[in-house]
Amino acid sequence: MDKILLALTLLIIICIIFTNLNWRQLVKATLFLIVFDGVMRKWILPQASNVIYLFKDIVLLIAYIKFFLFYRTDFQLIKNKYTSIVHIFLFISSIWLIFQSFNPDLGSPIIGIFGLSRYLLYVPLMWLLPYIFKSEEDFIKFLRNYLLCLIPVCILGIFQFYSPPSSFLNIAPGGEEASEALGFANGKIRISSVFAFPNIYTAYLVVCFGFLLPLLTGQIKQSNFWRIITFLELFLLIANFFMTGSRGVMVNSALIFVGYLVVKSIDNFAIILKFLKKLTVPAVIVVLLLSRYFAPAIDAFVTRGGSSGEFSERIGYALSIHSVPGKSIMDGYGTGATQSGAQPIKKLLSLPPGSTPPSAEAEMHKMTIEVGLVGVVFWYGMRITLMMALWFIYKNLYSPFLKDMALVAFFIHLQFLPGQVVFHPLSVVYYWFFSGFIFLLPKLDMKNYFT
């Protein structure tokens, strides 16, 4: 208990320090915090793991307050025909979610408000993003610095893989030893690096792979130093792909890569041909290094195996609609009913237990249980229009680099459709960050045009 109080005190002090930062710095700090908060949760203050988990939300809320209360009054978003549809679906979804947050099956509206925050807390990132980066160069600088985190994160992953399951490096949040369920071959553990669990780490790796693609295509000028750093990051990234033991990270990254190549080939085959030629030598080097120094990781991944039929069944389940016993298509158990944080809150505050919802794994199934089929239609309608808006932005941008970022964001949104977003502590932040590209990229492109 003393350590938990110490953690709370430390977090309050840090929050006070952060208030001296401007809102742009706080938003950027949040994007770094989601990478490294696991260090605190697993190794420094494991007893306060649940409190530290919420720290990024506190920082982000301070950023919102500073922006909407103290920023200049000329707040204006770039609009197109798709962003208007996005806002309509988002408004309708928000009304429905607020209504479901007071569902009596929850036992207490406190649980509903907590669940509502998981849906809507990160949405303002989409609107703030155009005001965070002042130019394309500023955006590129941020991406480069952000990707530098990959190097220590992936190196830690390598040490975890070659360490025994009982190693200090492989503990879980709260200081618990890694579960045997995370083993996947020859006594090896599926790595999670600085993150709480492997499925969170794989989401981070896929997003970073997307960030790297536009830097690898040669659409921007890079010094030899940054070229070396970029390929080092790519090499470490691929090595960690195998150590996670996840087929999903491979499939999602391949979807982004192949989709990117196909679309760019249709638009300008010469650029893609040039890119593939440049990539040939580094690709050969990466394959040789992987086969020489990371053969155990590749062998463990192959041994874990799994049939393609099993994987396709999981995708089918993730995208399927499930009825909720005893509920109409208009109703559910309320926002937060299926979320893992609900039970600790009920226990901590001695809240009524409420009704017990059916068990579920896929996000679409969980959302159906929480907000009903009607809520799912509203929410996924909004997500599909966001994808359409990103595609529209891609087709209308002039800057090659910004076009590439829009295309990558489109394919990341596509692979998020059957995956976890609302119920995933990392993906939900990145989802709304990429959604903000529908406002950010046209603004940066316009600045390029007029300078």
What pLDDT is stored for residue 123 in this prediction? 96
**Is 423 a domain residue?**
yes
Please give the model's pTM, rounded to 2 decimal places.
0.92
310 burial level (CB within 10 Å; 0-12, 13-18, 19+): exposed
**Is 271 a domain residue?**
yes
Q: Based on C-alpha coordinates, what's the Rg of the chain?
A: 22
- Pure H helices in 245-362: 247-267, 269-293, 295-304, 308-318, 342-349
Q: Are 31 and 109 found together in one domain?
A: no
Q: Are 296 and 167 found together in one domain?
A: yes
What pLDDT is stored for residue 144 in this prediction? 95
Identify the H or E element spanning 50.
helix 49-53
What pLDDT is stored for residue 180 in this prediction? 54
The DSSP 8-state label assigned to residue 341 in this structure reads: T
What pLDDT is stored for residue 302 in this prediction? 81
Distance CA 237, CA 61 (A): 31
Q: Residue type at 91?
A: F
Q: Are 281 and 299 found together in one domain?
A: yes
* Beta partners for residue 188, in sequence order: 185
Q: Are 192 and 335 found together in one domain?
A: no
**Is 127 a domain residue?**
no
Report helix, strand or coil for 325.
coil
What pLDDT is stored for residue 17 in this prediction? 61
Residue 28 structure tokens: 């950027």
Q: Are 35 and 21 found together in one domain?
A: yes
Maximal CA-CA distance, the chain: 64
Q: Are 223 and 96 found together in one domain?
A: no
Helix axes 224-244, 136-148, angle to 10 degrees: 50
Residues in the chain: 451
What pLDDT is stored for residue 155 in this prediction? 96
**Is the four-CA dihedral 177, 183, 188, 189 of positive or negative sign?**
negative
Kindly report the backbone phi and psi dihedral angles of residue 185, in degrees, each rounded to the nearest multiple of 5, phi listed first.
175, 140
Q: Are 176 and 217 found together in one domain?
A: yes
Q: Are 93 and 146 found together in one domain?
A: no
Q: Are 142 and 281 found together in one domain?
A: yes
What pLDDT is stored for residue 22 in this prediction? 87
* Residues of the chain falling short of pLDDT 50: 1-2, 307
What pLDDT is stored for residue 316 in this prediction? 63
Assess contact for 200 and 340: CB atoms under 8 A: no
Residue 239 structure tokens: 């090595």
What pLDDT is stored for residue 328 in this prediction? 77
**Is 433 a domain residue?**
yes
Q: Are 438 and 388 found together in one domain?
A: yes
What pLDDT is stored for residue 353 in this prediction? 87
**Is 344 a domain residue?**
yes
**Is 24 a domain residue?**
yes
Q: Are 337 and 398 found together in one domain?
A: yes
What pLDDT is stored for residue 41 in this prediction? 82
Assess contact for 149 and 35: CB atoms under 8 A: yes
Rounded alpha-carbon distances, angstroms, from residue 281 to 261, 284, 286: 18, 5, 9
**Is 313 a domain residue?**
no
Q: Are 254 and 342 found together in one domain?
A: no
Which among 184, 215, 129 is positioned nearest to 393, based on CA atoms?
A: 129
**Is 315 a domain residue?**
no
Q: Residue type at 166?
A: S
For 159, residues 6+ apart whose C-beta sits below 8 A from its C-beta are 169
Range of the domain at 29: 1-75
- Pure H helices in 319-417: 342-349, 363-396, 400-416
- Number of folded domains that form the chain: 3
Distance CA 384, CA 129 (A): 20
Q: SS3 breakdown of the chain: % helix, strand, coil, rounded to 5? A: 70, 0, 25
Rounded alpha-carbon distances, angstroms, from residue 57 to 29, 133, 194: 11, 21, 19
* Beta partners for residue 183, in sequence order: 189
